[in-house]
Amino acid sequence: MKIKDQFRFILQNMKKNKIRVFMTVLATAMGCAFLIVLASVAFGLHDSIVSDMLENRTINEIEVVGSEEGQGITDQDIAKFEELEGVRAVTRQKFVQQDAVYSIDGFEANAPTVAAHFPSEIASGVELAEGRLPEAPNEVVVGHHFIPSLTPAEGNPDEFYNEEGLIKEELQFDGDVIGQTFTMEIAKTDGDQETTQEFDVKIVGVMKAPGREWEWDQYVYITDDLLGELEAFTGTPGAALMDPSTFEDVSAEEVPYDQVTVIASDLESVKNVSEQLEDQQYMSYSIVNEMEQMNTLFTIAKAGLIFIGTIAILIASIGIYNTMTMAVTERAPDIGIMKAIGASPKVIKRIFLLESSYIGLIGAAIGIAAAYVISILVNFGLPLILEAAFNEEMPAGLQFSSIPPLLIVIAVVICLLVTILSGLRPAKRATEIDVLKAMRREI
Amino acid sequence: MIDINQLSHHFTLGKKGDLTSLSVLENISFHVRAGEIVTIVGRSGSGKSTLLNLISGFIRPTQGEIIIQDQKVSEFDESEFAAFRLQHMGFIFQNFQLIPSMTAFQNIELPLILKGISEQARKKMTIEMLKKVGLENFSGHYPSELSGGQQQRVSIARALVLEPPLILADEPTGSLDSETEEDLLRFIQELNKEMGITFLIITHDDEVAGIGHRTITLADGKMVESGVFS
Ligand SMILES: Nc1ncnc2c1ncn2[C@@H]1O[C@H](COP(=O)(O)OP(=O)(O)OP(=O)(O)O)[C@@H](O)[C@H]1O
Ligand SMILES: [Mg+2]
């Protein structure tokens, strides 16, 4: 019997019981759509998070926390890091351990101060919005948010801010900061008494705004030399506001960096560099590590959701089993006649299996179409609902549901497998129909 | 054409633990030559249908062998027997056994579909067969829209469409009136003469038995006579 004829046979048979077949297809479609939509959430969120991570510059950064013995990173270590294969730059920063007060023309700001190695910062991808890098020891670069944080030195601080928590426009510092000289006030203590000293710093550059809206860069980036001057004044490492006598020795060479970041030349190198660092007994951390963990987590989540979805299809398969069993029972006399004439059991089995897988396939097709529609609605509607409910804007590009081809393949395979399995027994029963009994209408 | 050697059959009745064996056929042996019309007669319950069902492969003999066209069909498995039936045997049943949801045309076409013949060839052969049994104007009729005689002609057309060398018939005239019965018998003799088709026909009816070149008589599962019907 030709496949084409088997198919025509199936269609004829299905037409005889349109409503029953339709209901079964509907149940299968619902199961399939349920599986896809459910799993699509894990796929969508995973995609969103990964693309979010990849957009971030920090993706090929490896933060080196220290050696495994608990020692900090010094210039010696940094020289080693720069030798490693696949390293583009090594940024290192020492924080000034007190909030310095910067002031100019009746404006002032408390700002965190950090000593950075500017060539490696630039090599790592940091960019200046305007100006240039420091050349002289007292030249500094300020973060994008440094200027907006300047407030009038006089007056009631409570009145500086508007309803949104920002400094009122008329009170903001306007004018060009490049080339301006600020005074930087640093305090020191000898245990009892605090004294302050003013240092002149000249702003020569302003950093570009950070990649994300919520990131806040109010730092003042100073040179190593200036940090040295500050430390000489306070007598403490990192110019900490502490009694110098509690420290043993202050030689700049031995003070470890507060933050060391190795920037790999590309994403592929991150793993390699991480491993080399590990081999050399350094403790490091990169987003790639985190991503691997996250991928595992999402894979488990996806598998779990697909499993739950499969249960829905299994439930639908009960319907298919029922439909096929009834079809076999109803058609038993016809099957008996066909067997008598010379239809082989194989052909009969194939016809019924084909019928149940056909139901599964149509169900899957409808289910996939429905899942796409639901997915689009979810991606479009859910942010609107959440925004209305929480009065907060959703991050752009956030996708709740995504249906990759892989998910479609998985769903179709599961759907077909389940429907074929559920058609197996009825099909077998059809082959076992006794010709004589069927012809006597005893079944 | 057909060789039956020491064929015995018994049915097993009852439930597990309380089985009884009912012997229906005992040690039957006979031979049917190609081109013969052989009729089988005997009282009700003598085992005629059982014998034909064994030859058709619908049930399996307890003992003995059946050889059709030099093939030991009694050793075939179900698939092999199905293929053999399609190829070598046509069937005419007392109550026609047409598929009610199929038209006359589709019923006759069925064996051709099972054989895997192309749609074009099928159509030609089916129409030819419809003409042969005089039903060319009824091709779109469902069995319920045909008279008993017409239904039997559709079933004969279905049996003949693949041109099998052997046709088995279990009381083919059982549901027909005497006039249609005569038509049918004439047709059978015609097919036998013109196409050399071998017939094995079970009957209660003397008139039907009379068309046989030879008659086999069964009584209580035993063959009591094989000869020209008188
Ligand atoms: N499937 C079966 N199971 C058990 N016993 C059966 C079965 N089929 C037939 N028999 C028995 O076998 C015997 C022969 O039956 P069979 O149908 O061959 O008779 P028959 O000669 O065709 O009778 P009739 O002329 O009434 O059709 C009967 O006694 C019947 O009860
Ligand atoms: Mg009988």
| Partner-chain contact B101 A344, CB within 8 Å | no
- Interface probe, candidates B53, B58, B171, chain A, greatest A C-beta count within 10 A: B58
Q: How do residues A16-46 score in pLDDT, each as one tens digit?
A: 889 999 999 999 999 999 999 999 999 998 8
Task: Measure the CA–CA gap between A306 and A42, rounded to whole angstroms.
Answer: 10
Q: Which of A9, A16, A341 is facing B111, going by the closest CB pair? A: A341
Query: Are A88 and A263 contacting, i.e. CB atoms less than 8 angstroms apart?
Result: yes
Measured CA distances, A227 to A139, A179, A205, A264, A290 (Å): 12, 20, 18, 28, 34
Which bin fits A105, alpha (ψ -120 to 50), beta or left (φ > 0)?
left
For the beta carbon of residue B149, count every other beta carbon within 10 angstroms. Answer: 17
Q: Which of A338, A341, A346 is facing B79, going by the closest CB pair? A: A346
Q: What is the pLDDT of residue A410?
A: 94
Q: At what angle do helices B148-160 and B104-115 cross, to 10 degrees?
A: 20
Q: Of the bound ligands, which one is closest to the alpha carbon of residue B58? A: 1
| Partner-chain contact A340 B85, CB within 8 Å | yes
Query: Are A443 and A329 contacting, i.e. CB atoms less than 8 angstroms apart?
Result: yes
How far is A416 from chain B, CA to nearest CA, in Å? Answer: 26
Looking at ligand 1, which atom is closest to the CA of residue B47?
Answer: 18
Q: Which amino acid is at A82?
A: E
Task: Measure the CA–CA gap between A194 and A79, rounded to whole angstroms.
Answer: 38
**Which residues, including other chains, have CB under 8 Å from residue B223's CB and lie 6 or more apart?**
B28, B29, B30, B216, B217
Confidence of residue A51 (pLDDT cuts 50, 70, 90): confident
Dmax over CA atoms of chain B, in Å, equals 57
Q: Which amino acid is at B155?
A: S
Q: Which residues of B touch A346 (CB under 8 A)?
A: 79
Q: What is the pLDDT of residue A26?
A: 94
Task: Measure the CA–CA gap between A126 and A61, rounded to whole angstroms.
Answer: 13
CA-nearest of B49, B20, B39 to B170 is B49
Q: What is the CATH number of the domain that holds B41?
A: 3.40.50.300
CA-nearest of A35, A54, A34, A64 to A294 is A54
Confidence of residue A57 (pLDDT cuts 50, 70, 90): low
Confidence of residue A361 (pLDDT cuts 50, 70, 90): very high
Q: What is the pLDDT of residue B142?
A: 94
Q: What is the pLDDT of residue A30?
A: 94
Task: Measure the CA–CA gap between A45 and A397, rounded to whole angstroms.
Answer: 11
Percentage of the residues of chain B whose pLDDT score is greater than 90: 63
DSSP class per residue in A187-249: EEESSS-EEEEEEEEEEEEEEPPPSSTT-----EEE-HHHHHHHHHHH-SGGG-SS-GGGSS-
Q: Of the bound ligands, which one is closest to the alpha carbon of residue B51? A: 1
Mean pLDDT of chain B: 90
Task: Measure the CA–CA gap between B159 and B199, rounded to whole angstroms.
Answer: 12
Compute the average pLDDT of residues A237-248. Answer: 80
Q: Which amino acid is at A173?
A: F
Task: Measure the CA–CA gap between B146 and B135, rounded to whole angstroms.
Answer: 10
Q: Which residues of A touch B59 (CB under 8 A)?
A: 436
Query: Are A200 and A131 contacting, i.e. CB atoms less than 8 angstroms apart?
Result: no
| Partner-chain contact B58 A340, CB within 8 Å | yes
> Would the CA dihedral through A79, A80, A81, A82 be positive or negative?
positive
Which bin fits B27, alpha (ψ -120 to 50), beta or left (φ > 0)?
left
Ligand 1 pocket mutation pick from B10, B40, B49 by most atoms within 8 angstroms of CB? B49
- Name the residue with higher pLDDT: A441 or A377: A377
**Which residues, including other chains, have CB under 8 Å from residue A11's CB and lie 6 or more apart?**
none
- Name the residue with higher pLDDT: A164 or B223: B223
Looking at ligand 1, which atom is closest to the CA of residue B52?
Answer: 18
In this model, does residue A253 exceed pLDDT 60? no
Three-state DSSP at A181 gives strand
Ligand 1 atom 2, closest CA: B11
pTM: 0.73
Q: For residue A239, what are its two tokens?
A: 């110019």
CA-nearest of A80, A85, A79, A92 to A123 is A92
Q: How do residues A98-123 score in pLDDT, each as one tens digit?
A: 888 898 888 888 889 999 988 888 88
Confidence of residue A283 (pLDDT cuts 50, 70, 90): confident
CA angle A426, A430, A436 (to 5 degrees): 150
Compute the average pLDDT of residues A250-268. Answer: 77
A54-65: buried (b, 16+ CB within 10 Å) or exposed (e) per residue? eeeeebbbbebe
Q: How do residues B26-41 score in pLDDT, each as one tens digit?
A: 999 999 999 999 999 9
What residues of chain A, 315 to 374, have a C-beta less than 8 Å from chain B? 334, 337-347
In this model, does residue A227 exceed pLDDT 80? yes
Pocket of ligand 1 (CB under 6 A): B 11, 13, 22, 24, 42, 44-50
Task: Measure the CA–CA gap between A261 and A251, rounded to whole angstroms.
Answer: 23
Q: For B111, which residue in chain A has the nearest alpha carbon?
A: A341
Three-state DSSP at A152 gives strand
Instruction: Please tell me the distance between residue A203's alpha carbon and the centre of ligand 1 in angstroms.
Output: 113
For the beta carbon of residue B96, count every other beta carbon within 10 angstroms. Answer: 21
How far is B230 from chain A, CA to nearest CA, in Å? Answer: 32
Confidence of residue B81 (pLDDT cuts 50, 70, 90): very high
Query: Are A335 and A433 contacting, i.e. CB atoms less than 8 angstroms apart?
Result: yes
Q: For B100, which residue in chain A has the nearest alpha carbon?
A: A334
Task: Measure the CA–CA gap between A201 and A179, rounded to whole angstroms.
Answer: 10
Q: For B86, which residue in chain A has the nearest alpha carbon?
A: A342
- Interface probe, candidates B110, B155, B175, chain A, greatest A C-beta count within 10 A: B110
HSE-up (13 A, CA, CB side) for residue A83: 9
Compute the average pLDDT of residues A240-258. Answer: 73
Cα B146 to the center of its chain, rounded Å: 21
Q: How do residues A289-314 score in pLDDT, each as one tens digit?
A: 777 888 899 999 999 999 999 999 99
Q: For B92, which residue in chain A has the nearest alpha carbon?
A: A341
How far is B21 from chain A, CA to nearest CA, in Å? Answer: 20
In this model, does residue B227 exceed pLDDT 80? no
Q: Which of B59, B83, B97 is facing A340, going by the closest CB pair? A: B97
- Name the residue with higher pLDDT: B46 or B17: B46
Instruction: Please tell me the distance between residue B226's alpha carbon and the centre of ligand 2 in angstroms.
Output: 19
Q: What is the pLDDT of residue A252?
A: 47
Q: What counts of helices (H) and strands (E) characterise chain B?
A: 7, 10
Q: What is the pLDDT of residue A381?
A: 86
Looking at ligand 1, which atom is closest to the CA of residue B42?
Answer: 21
A208-244: buried (b, 16+ CB within 10 Å) or exposed (e) per residue? eeeeeeeeebbbbbbbeebbebbbebbbbbbbbebeb
Q: For B56, which residue in chain A has the nearest alpha carbon?
A: A340
| Partner-chain contact B114 A341, CB within 8 Å | yes
CA-nearest of A256, A180, A257 to A220 is A180
Instruction: Please tell me the distance between residue B94's alpha carbon and the centre of ligand 2 in angstroms.
Output: 9
**Which residues, including other chains, have CB under 8 Å from residue A336's CB and lie 6 or more apart?**
A433, A434, A435, A436, A437, A438, A439, A443
Ligand 1 atom 24, closest CA: B44
Ligand 1 atom 13, closest CA: B45
Tell me the count of A-B CB pairs closer than 8 A. Answer: 59
> How many domains in chain B?
1
Ligand 1 atom 17, closest CA: B49
Query: Are B97 and B147 contacting, i.e. CB atoms less than 8 angstroms apart?
Result: no
Q: For residue A265, what are its two tokens?
A: 């030349």
- What is the enclosing helix (H) or strand (E) of B106? helix B104-115
Chain A interface includes B219 (CB < 8 A): no
Domain that holds residue B10: 2-227
Which bin fits B93, alpha (ψ -120 to 50), beta or left (φ > 0)?
beta
| Partner-chain contact B78 A342, CB within 8 Å | no
Query: Are B126 and B160 contacting, i.e. CB atoms less than 8 angstroms apart?
Result: no
- For residue A343, what is the DSSP state? -
For ligand 2, a single-atom ion, the residues with CB < 5 A are B 49
Dmax over CA atoms of chain A, in Å, equals 114
Compute the average pLDDT of residues B184-206. Answer: 91
Task: Measure the CA–CA gap between B169 and B176, rounded to whole angstroms.
Answer: 14
Looking at ligand 1, which atom is closest to the CA of residue B51?
Answer: 18
Q: What is the pLDDT of residue A190?
A: 80
In this model, does residue A251 exceed pLDDT 60? no
Three-state DSSP at A61 gives strand
Q: How do residues A144-162 score in pLDDT, each as one tens digit?
A: 888 888 888 877 777 777 7
- What is the enclosing helix (H) or strand (E) of A51? helix A18-55
Ligand 1 atom 16, closest CA: B47
CA dihedral B23, B27, B32, B38 (to 10 degrees): -40
Strands B222-227 and B214-219: antiparallel
Burial of A409 (0-12, 13-18, 19+ CB in 10 A): exposed
Q: What is the pLDDT of residue A145?
A: 87
| Partner-chain contact A341 B110, CB within 8 Å | yes
| Partner-chain contact B82 A334, CB within 8 Å | no
| Partner-chain contact A1 B101, CB within 8 Å | no
Query: For chain B, percent helix, then strand, then coil, each to nearest 5?
Result: 40, 30, 30
How do the domains of chain A map onto residue ranges? 3-55+293-439, 61-265
| Partner-chain contact A341 B79, CB within 8 Å | no
